[in-house]
A and B are shown apart, each in its own frame.
Chain A
């Protein structure tokens, strides 16, 4: 089959690049802040900057979830950029409370307002002093300049802001476990809760986008859906007997703050993606909460291992390329390695310490011909794949152009996924999530075997 390449100017030859990013494997902080804020009940995210930021972030999240994404903006004009955005934000705060009645407005900054140097806590203080914040209503903020970190950093900063503004320690240790999640899908949040419930743990999950961005079609629109972490629960996180942060990049800052601010003992773990990372998560919960692992979870684990064993011949020795976010990539690479696949290329656009070391811990050091780009971009990944292709590619929707050009079986994974459904509904975390990842990978690998098999070798039973 010969089809015209989509990315026709990409060649295998890598020229050195220092200043130019081509086809990024990340986006900017504010969209992550917006996503995290949607995971708190009756919270309206607010983008303090030009209105294009808010429009772009809402569009991206809406395309990804095919669900309403409500957020407001300070609508900067040239005047606001010269004189500061205070009056815009003050006006926005009173308009939003009056028109939409959120319980919390979660302000995140943008490159514009950060460059100007708007002092958000001061503006919030002024709004309070002027009576623009009704009683029992709150305005919080996170600083999320687009020129630092990535969408993952923004998610982490906003999650941390909820702890910063609301978590309180009364001095009494409660009997609830705080679980702070890195950036995962609503389906994953629901699965985390299901697993914790199965272990009979009394938990608080922050943030929690399940019940928000996976809303049912009922004929009734709710601007603030039923889901999301409750404000009262966030407050009591300060009295948790322990906190588990899953995903160092996404959950680390909030978990650390809960420890330093409220002296809640903090444990960090990988996102429970794949067999080994889920094992570690369940084992950590078991030890921290002194809760036995129920048969139901052990059985799920066994079914995953069963599927891995049953299909081992189709995974063994397969080479894989991954693009995505650090918290996902490490356990995903580990899972694929658990199935004796060979993870050759790993690319993330998110900068940050610790990723490469964590990856090496999980799957061993890079071997000759491997590429671990952190930070790097999809253009660089594509160049590697042109030079030496892999059997399988995991990436967000933008990976489909590479997959099509190079004819590589492709699994959509990460953010954003604009062209398929399911990620909001079916989890990738936990043992059942791992089975879903495996099923997806097997489907594309085995479709390829079927497609390419000579007639006499087209197998009925696989």
Chain B
């Protein structure tokens, strides 16, 4: 297969202007483990070439849209012209279940709607006024301010405004300089949001949650109700979920995060900063989990039980896995024969293109090619490459917080030997092995895929299914090939956990074997000549 994929790669590159081809060549890699077992190097987290028609969005989208957005009781104000606040208004499907008496500000898009006068004379005054007006209307416990592109350029000091208003109103007010142009993709925004939430929210609630086993779930944004499904399983196991970063989450619960015994990391790309900082400050270790796929879910739950080393918890875990796996097996027996051998290509996100391969494996489908939209090298090749990643000008812009042990609250949950022991038993403690380790040799890994490449890949690889996002969906489907959105789930889900796996199997069967794809050609297209005679029936 590698030979073929090298040809595919060459064929795609041959359509580019030389300069573009030189750059893209390093972002398209045929997977193949070296003798050391390590995957080849890929270029990632680098600037998108202007004009290629990229999938990528901006820093604001990563900061507001992804990481901070899903927390329902933080009132969020976009400081800038109207567009950014409008487009991030309820469009990401982070579900949130508000309990009696709780705030839910997610249905509200708040903006300073800057006008040309504000751009000329500064918008800071308007921002301060807007924060006061927002406070009077909503009486929130916390307010978050997001900068859009022009804010940094006109010199508004949003952080001073946040500090002053925090003192004046007696609530938490914090600001993020997440102007769209910072960084090369949404990824920079994740980092900025991690820093702000860690600084202003985490550890600000002294009420200790009850529970024998306490965990945080990081990088789970509750698209389509995934987090609800995980909450259900953890509850059945008697594990207390202190908070999620950030889906179905609250300012109140995030404040309690340091009480957790361990952090489980789903989306490594968007939240690994938080995991590292919490370990450095509070001594909470983290391990990588993937709850997408039934086998992956079972593995993650077993790892959790092993972390706590409690026989009763382990027994409950085995029972839950056995109980829920039965339904999964039954559904797989029904659907796998309908999907086995079909092929898929997937270009999405910063972890989903990896996680979802599990579900396709379970269905017996082949992932021919995959890639991320905004990931870094470690998400492809594993965290072992981090020390060698060159920090370029775009990454240097993003503040790296210096975090040390908290003098009062630092308490290592496990000693070094304990962590080493867990690692020895296969727990990915403080580690993520990356996507390429799990992909077949000879598959094609592509970073920051663009429209031209997607078109060529479809022609050359002829996949039965494509996974990407809304901008790609109908481009692909016009060709008669179904596309599954893995950002919004096409308004379906949940796909996490065992029940989610069943939902996904059914959804892929619906897409790949749907009747409509067989109806694309009109009957007269296959026999264009008219036969028969005029004048009689």
Contacts and interface: CB of A to CB of B under 8 A. Distances in A.
B334 interface: no
Contact of A219 (B81, B85, B473, B521): B521
Contacts of A219: 478-480, 520-521
Contact of B470 (A62, A78, A146): A62
- A30, A68, A349, most chain B CB atoms within 10 A: A68
Interface string B135-177: 0111000000000111011100000000000000000000000
B371 to A, nearest CB: 17
B130 interface: yes
A6 B109 CA distance: 13
Contacts of B150: 111-112, 115, 147
B49 interface: yes
A99 interface: yes
Nearest to A13: B137
A81 interface: yes
Given A115-B149, A147-B119, A52 B133 contact: no
Contacts of B110: 20-22
Contacts of A73: 50-51, 54
Contacts of A26: 82, 86
B474 A220 contact: no
Contact of B83 (A4, A27, A46, A217): A27
Q: Which of B48, B58, B138, B152 is the most central at the interface, judged by chain A CB atoms within 10 Å of its CB?
A: B58
A145 interface: yes
B115 interface: yes
A100 B520 contact: no
Contact of A76 (B17, B181, B469): B181
B471 A62 contact: yes
A79 B393 contact: yes
Contacts of B452: 99-100
B107 A6 contact: yes
A147 B118 contact: yes
Contacts of A81: 149, 152-153, 179, 181
Contacts of B478: 68, 215, 217-222
B15 A53 contact: no
A31 B48 CA distance: 21
B138 A52 contact: no
B406 to A, nearest CB: 33
A190 to B, nearest CB: 19
Given A27-B87, A75-B47, A78-B394, A99 B118 contact: no
A267 interface: no
Given A112-B149, A147-B114, A24 B50 contact: no
Contacts of B451: 70, 100
Contacts of B408: none
Contact of A379 (B59, B87, B108): B108
Interface string B52-63: 111111111100
A49 interface: yes
Interface string A234-270: 0000000000000000000000000000000000000
B107 A401 contact: yes
Given A24-B113, A62-B474, A217-B480, A8 B104 contact: yes
B481 to A, nearest CB: 9
Tell which of B85, B107, B138, B180 has the most Cβ of chain A within 10 Å. B180
B89 interface: yes
Contacts of A29: 83
A91 interface: yes
B475 A24 contact: no
Nearest to A87: B50
Contacts of B246: none
Given A56-B84, A66-B474, A77 B107 contact: no
How many of chain B's residues touch chain A, expressed as a range?
35 or more
A69 interface: yes
B520 A218 contact: yes
Give the interface centre of A22, A63, A67 by most chain B CB atoms within 10 Å. Answer: A22
B59 A52 contact: yes
Interface string B458-489: 00000000000111011111111000000000
B184 interface: yes
A250 to B, nearest CB: 18
Given A20-B133, A28-B82, A51-B48, A111 B108 contact: no
A110 B105 CA distance: 28
A455 interface: no
B471 A147 contact: no
B129 interface: yes
Nearest to B90: A398
B127 interface: yes
Interface string A71-89: 1111111111100000011
A99 B133 contact: no
Contacts of B134: 20, 22
A19 interface: yes
Nearest to A63: B470
A60 B109 CA distance: 16
A40 B193 CA distance: 40
Given A77-B47, A219-B479, A146 B82 contact: yes
Contacts of A110: 149
A172 interface: no
A7 B108 CA distance: 8
Nearest to A60: B87
Nearest to B61: A52
Interface in B488-537: 520-521
A96 interface: yes
Nearest to A113: B149
A98 B50 CA distance: 13
Interface string A200-220: 000000000000000101111
A91 B50 CA distance: 6
B103 interface: yes
Contacts of B60: 52
Nearest to A397: B90
A170 interface: no
Interface string B68-90: 00000000010011111111111
Given A22-B109, A221-B478, 17 more contacts: A19-B127, A22-B137, A27-B82, A49-B180, A50-B59, A53-B180, A71-B53, A74-B51, A76-B149, A78-B394, A79-B393, A94-B17, A111-B83, A111-B148, A112-B153, A217-B480, A220-B479
8 contacts: A6-B107, A9-B138, A22-B109, A81-B149, A95-B20, A112-B181, A219-B478, A398-B89
Interface of A: 4, 6-9, 15, 17-24, 26-31, 46, 49-53, 55-60, 62-63, 66-81, 88-89, 91-96, 98-100, 110-112, 114-116, 145-148, 150, 215, 217-222, 349, 379, 398, 401
The 8 closest A-B CB pairs, nearest first, are A52-B58, A28-B83, A92-B51, A50-B180, A95-B51, A146-B81, A19-B129, A92-B50
